[in-house]
Chain A
């Protein structure tokens, strides 16, 4: 009672007061999220180059037109999509398998659950350096094993071939992030009540039937959330490829994030670099919309 009176005494209507109170938070968001986006977009409409900051002028959508005609941009887009789709698909399958195993009661299960997280816990730059060394043509362990097994007759340069370099990066990414997918899915599996399986068994459903009619539909929402996390992450892949190949060989592993970084910070071309950043933003927005749409279908 006391409180309500004090509000009234200020003479400010309650809803206005409410808005007043969220204003600081809104300002914060505006400053750290909305402002950079608008700034990036406005920069992308100029030919701003750090070497000649005063000569920057408005050039409309020219940067975007340039990118649409730029073979390198499409190559980077293709690499990014290929990397995202293949690595997320592999992570989903492997992660799901891991989750199913970890969901079964067995001795040392807690230890296994902790142990699978090790690759996820290693910083990407470090695991990328580690994989780069394993793929090395002279000192790498991969060549050594394959040669001993007789699968190859001489050392191969895995990161030095346009055919294998992107796959090498995908394998390193799957190694690192499949456990994360596995743990998310495991959490989903554990929310499925055991009674469902019991009654289905009583009704005569076999293992496969139970998997497809109970596990898969009930884990779908968790899976979609896990997928959106990983898809957005994979789409922005930067450090892994930056360390492993630097975009080579022959630019066959350059991704959109790397292209944007190179344009912005190495070449200091803020106009074009911002345009790439804006396009990445739009791509990601579209991916998110698709997932949200799928989630809504799921829930209805």
Chain B
């Protein structure tokens, strides 16, 4: 009898513990009803008074952010910046920001947002529209892709801080001229594999995650395909189907595990000299040319190749980070002064030279100091100018998920290209209509 009672007690405890942990997640939703406050006019800032603003961004492993902040405080001694470091993974930053902002938090004034977040945050009413601060003429001095990614419903919600776009790394000691089309890339890679010069022809990111979306969109965009036009889904086209088939063909010259690879897996293999081509982000340049790299000085960088039905150039997928102001911030004007400085020429130069980040202002790609520190920037400019953002929608995470799952099923051979494209088009249409 006693054991029985004990067991029943244990079971009750187990069930309770479970309930708590299973529902702990949704517990947060309790205080999520954001009160949409009437938009305040930015309060007049008195330039003599000292204010402190808080800036939240993911950890910067380079000295760039620190140096930019120092330069800012030198120039604006009356504005102190409280720099709040966030975890490195973008998903974790997203979770932290969403939790804080949905509860109406005002402790952070300036947020650094991934290019795929502004529309989501804007539609939820968490960030301030910047049309009054950031004029259209000023926007023209920036790269247009990132500006597009920060625009939602005709208003601009964030200012690009640095950009990123997929590029093609190649072994310039083995390949004199980088390929312009996917077909050329395939045949060069295959030839080098057959000759035994490399183990694999091509590495890219085909794990089921956000990076897969960046990769597959490059094939679709570079072959005249498109996901969304205005509010219409235009994905279902012969060009998109063909693009998917080209993508799948690349699995022949890639390691078998490429469907589990993220940036780092292929990057390390390329660094070891095992691969002829790699699709990756510009930030890999410094790793590939470091002293530990087996391919130091043998790496070339080129724009993403194009498909048979594409424009004159391939279309890279745009990444990059942007600065936005918390709608509940008490120091909106100081926050804007900060953003204006961080995205201005002086800070952008520090960022590029100290951290190797790609500037968002077009003229800096011709700046002697920037190019001297980053000679590869010049050849990346074309890729950046032609780069396209991922679909801009407050429901982007769901769109991304549909693309990830269907593309991955297609690469695994579970469905054919036509079905994959049809599924994606149908699901994305439903997501946009909800």
Chain A residues in the interface with B (C-beta under 8 A): 32-33, 35-37, 39-40, 43, 47-54, 72, 136-139, 154-157, 159-162, 221, 224-225, 228-229, 232, 236, 245-252, 260-262, 264-270, 273-274, 277, 280-281, 284-285, 288, 291-292, 295-296, 299
Contact = CB atoms under 8 A, between A and B. Distances in A.
Given A251-B409, A277-B25, A52 B123 contact: yes
A110 to B, nearest CB: 26
B11 A157 contact: no
B50 interface: no
Interface string B33-44: 110100000000
B19 A33 contact: yes
A50 B102 contact: yes
A40 B208 contact: no
B368 interface: no
B183 interface: no
A160 B22 contact: no
28 contacts: A35-B30, A36-B30, A47-B434, A50-B124, A53-B32, A53-B34, A53-B102, A137-B255, A138-B255, A139-B268, A157-B256, A161-B412, A221-B7, A236-B18, A245-B208, A246-B208, A248-B208, A248-B260, A249-B411, A251-B405, A264-B25, A265-B25, A266-B401, A274-B26, A274-B29, A281-B19, A284-B18, A295-B11
Looking at B25, B257, B397, B409, which has the most chain A CB atoms within 10 Å of its CB?
B257
Given A249-B411, A285-B15, 15 more contacts: A47-B434, A50-B124, A138-B265, A155-B256, A157-B258, A157-B260, A225-B11, A250-B414, A261-B25, A262-B401, A264-B25, A270-B32, A274-B29, A288-B14, A288-B15
Contacts of A291: 11
Interface residue SS majority, chain B = helix
Given A51-B123, A246-B207, A36 B23 contact: yes
A260 B29 CA distance: 13
A299 B3 contact: yes
B98 interface: yes
A277 B26 contact: yes
A267 B257 contact: no
Given A32-B20, A225-B11, A277-B23, A157 B395 contact: no
Contact of B257 (A49, A137, A261, A277): A137
B174 to A, nearest CB: 20
Interface in B197-246: 207-209
Interface of B: 3-4, 7-8, 10-11, 14-16, 18-27, 29-30, 32-34, 36, 91, 94-95, 98, 102, 120, 123-124, 207-209, 255-260, 265, 268-269, 394-395, 397-398, 401, 405, 408-409, 411-412, 414, 434
Looking at B123, B255, B408, which has the most chain A CB atoms within 10 Å of its CB?
B408
B397 A267 contact: yes
B10 A225 contact: yes
A261 to B, nearest CB: 7
Contact of A51 (B3, B36, B120): B120
Contacts of B256: 137, 154-157, 160
A280 B408 CA distance: 26
Contacts of A280: 22
Nearest to A32: B20
A187 B33 CA distance: 49
Contacts of A43: 26, 29
